[in-house]
A and B are shown apart, each in its own frame.
Chain A
């Protein structure tokens, strides 16, 4: 139970966000009105995706580093790769969730599910495409060590490109998406105190949930690998 405290914490925080977030009084701006509550779902999911991709990146780098050492056993070294794989797959799911919550919100605020020509939306869609190419890459290589090595290298490039395309590119263009003038997060909404009270815990909660799901996936991959290779 001691090593599962963070999972319990994530459940508690998310229950708090889901109930209090929907009940609490929110400041009302034109057009947005109640839809500001999407801020507790959409934005934290993207943050969770970025954190978990960062985790996948770090595990990939650790794999590359440890695979060079002479006394490393294959099991321990491949564990890094399995962790990276699990994290990136979970990240893609969270990315799609963030995209769908964004699309539903867009329908209420802008009248359309996908406005034409919006750079931030292009950025997020292409970043997901880059990581889907990662999945295709993994599928097309049979040998495990090769797979792990190449996937780790690709994930480094993918992360850098994602940062360029989600972080830098929307700041250079006019965009409907909030926060286009400066921080492409939530500049327009005067993030007032009640919102902050729910938003920051929400980021933590969704991120911890993402890591929990990734850890279950990792254990599953691990057991599958052990059954195939050790028995």
Chain B
């Protein structure tokens, strides 16, 4: 199964590279939103507002990125997906989506800090929490995308399903980000990162167990 997983993952990357439309569209979305915020406020000094805006932005970028991950309607991939095992499929999709969204988060973070200032938030703790949290979001969104695309390619269903489930993760992320402001609490920050990683592993495990049931028609 590991060989299938590697092959599928390589396929995902190749597909992405062949048709860079999707990647550029998301980057455009990210850059345009950050630029609009920049035009509005120039620089944000208040860390709570910085954190809130950053995570709203990342939430919607992640949601957008998830909608394009299960497009079976293309047809050419359908045959391939009936050959490989569903577990390898879901693991490869989760891995690809996590890497993709983490990339988006890093680019977003760099642009935000460059244009809108860093509001005295220390870089390393915040980026640790951001990466762990985006991983958790990505695994949850991939599974919800899998569910909603089995049900007639329904984009609104993805939003309905995933937004309530994402709120706990976002709350943990926002609290973790606020903790970063307090540089003397490294253990607490690392504990939050650990919790987010545990949540990520829980989501991946549940997806791994449940995706085959979803696939059986």
User: A and B: direct contact (Cβ < 8 Å)?
Assistant: yes
Q: A130-B165, A149-B213, A157-B206 are in contact. Are A164 and B147 (CB under 8 A)?
A: no
Q: Note all chain A residues with C-beta closer than 8 A to B203.
A: 157
Q: In whole angstroms, what is the CA distance A21 to B151 when docked?
A: 49
Q: A149-B213, A150-B214 are in contact. Are A137 and B160 (CB under 8 A)?
A: yes
Q: How large is the interface on A (under 10, 10 to 19, 20 to 34, 35 or more residues)?
A: 20 to 34
- Say whether A133 faces chain B, with CB atoms less than 8 Å apart: yes
> What residue in chain B is nearest A143 (Cβ atoms)?
B151
State the main secondary structure of chain B at its contact with A.
helix
Q: In whole angstroms, what is the CA distance A137 to B158 when docked?
A: 10
Q: Note all chain A residues with C-beta closer than 8 A to B150.
A: 146, 150
Assess whether B168 is in contact with A161, with CB atoms less than 8 Å apart.
yes
Q: Note all chain A residues with C-beta closer than 8 A to B44.
A: none
Q: In whole angstroms, what is the CA distance A10 to B157 when docked?
A: 39
Candidates B171, B213, B216; contact of A169 at CB < 8 Å: B171
Assess whether B164 is in contact with A133, with CB atoms less than 8 Å apart.
yes
Candidates A153, A157, A173; contact of B165 at CB < 8 Å: A157
Interface positions of B from 175 to 207, Cβ below 8 Å from A: 175, 195, 199, 202-203, 206
A62 shortest CB reach to chain B, Å: 12
- Say whether B110 faces chain A, with CB atoms less than 8 Å apart: no
- Say whether B138 faces chain A, with CB atoms less than 8 Å apart: no
- Say whether B1 faces chain A, with CB atoms less than 8 Å apart: no
Q: In whole angstroms, what is the CA distance A137 to B144 when docked?
A: 11
Q: Note all chain B residues with C-beta closer than 8 A to A168.
A: 195
Interface positions of A from 140 to 181, Cβ below 8 Å from B: 140-141, 146, 149-150, 153-154, 156-158, 160-161, 164-165, 168-169, 172-173
Assess whether B157 is in contact with A156, with CB atoms less than 8 Å apart.
no
Q: A122-B171, A126-B167, A154-B147 are in contact. Are A149 and B214 (CB under 8 A)?
A: yes
> What residue in chain A is nearest B211 (Cβ atoms)?
A153
A70 shortest CB reach to chain B, Å: 12
Q: In whole angstroms, what is the CA distance A134 to B154 when docked?
A: 16
> What residue in chain A is nearest B143 (Cβ atoms)?
A157
Q: Note all chain A residues with C-beta closer than 8 A to B161.
A: 133, 137, 154
Residue-wise interface mask of A (95-130) relative to B, using a CB-CB cutoff of 8 A (1 in contact, 0 not): 000000000000000000000000000100010011
A139 shortest CB reach to chain B, Å: 10
Assess whether B168 is in contact with A169, with CB atoms less than 8 Å apart.
yes
Q: Note all chain A residues with C-beta closer than 8 A to B199.
A: 164
B44 shortest CB reach to chain A, Å: 21
Candidates B147, B165, B175, B210; contact of A161 at CB < 8 Å: B165
Assess whether B151 is in contact with A150, with CB atoms less than 8 Å apart.
yes
Q: Note all chain A residues with C-beta closer than 8 A to B171.
A: 122, 126, 165, 169
Q: Note all chain B residues with C-beta closer than 8 A to A68.
A: 213, 216
Candidates B160, B175, B216; contact of A136 at CB < 8 Å: B160
Q: Note all chain A residues with C-beta closer than 8 A to B164.
A: 126, 129-130, 132-133
> What residue in chain A is nearest B146 (Cβ atoms)?
A153
Q: In whole angstroms, what is the CA distance A172 to B161 when docked?
A: 26
B91 shortest CB reach to chain A, Å: 17
Assess whether B151 is in contact with A160, with CB atoms less than 8 Å apart.
no
Assess whether B167 is in contact with A160, with CB atoms less than 8 Å apart.
no
Candidates A126, A146, A173; contact of B168 at CB < 8 Å: A126
Assess whether A160 is in contact with B206, with CB atoms less than 8 Å apart.
yes
User: What is A's interface to B at a CB cutoff of 8 Å?
Assistant: 64, 67-68, 122, 126, 129-130, 132-133, 136-137, 140-141, 146, 149-150, 153-154, 156-158, 160-161, 164-165, 168-169, 172-173
26 CB contacts below 8 A, A to B, read A64-B210, A64-B213, A68-B216, A130-B165, A133-B160, A133-B161, A137-B160, A137-B161, A140-B151, A140-B154, A141-B151, A146-B151, A149-B214, A150-B147, A150-B151, A153-B214, A154-B147, A157-B143, A157-B203, A158-B165, A160-B202, A160-B206, A161-B168, A168-B195, A169-B168, A173-B175
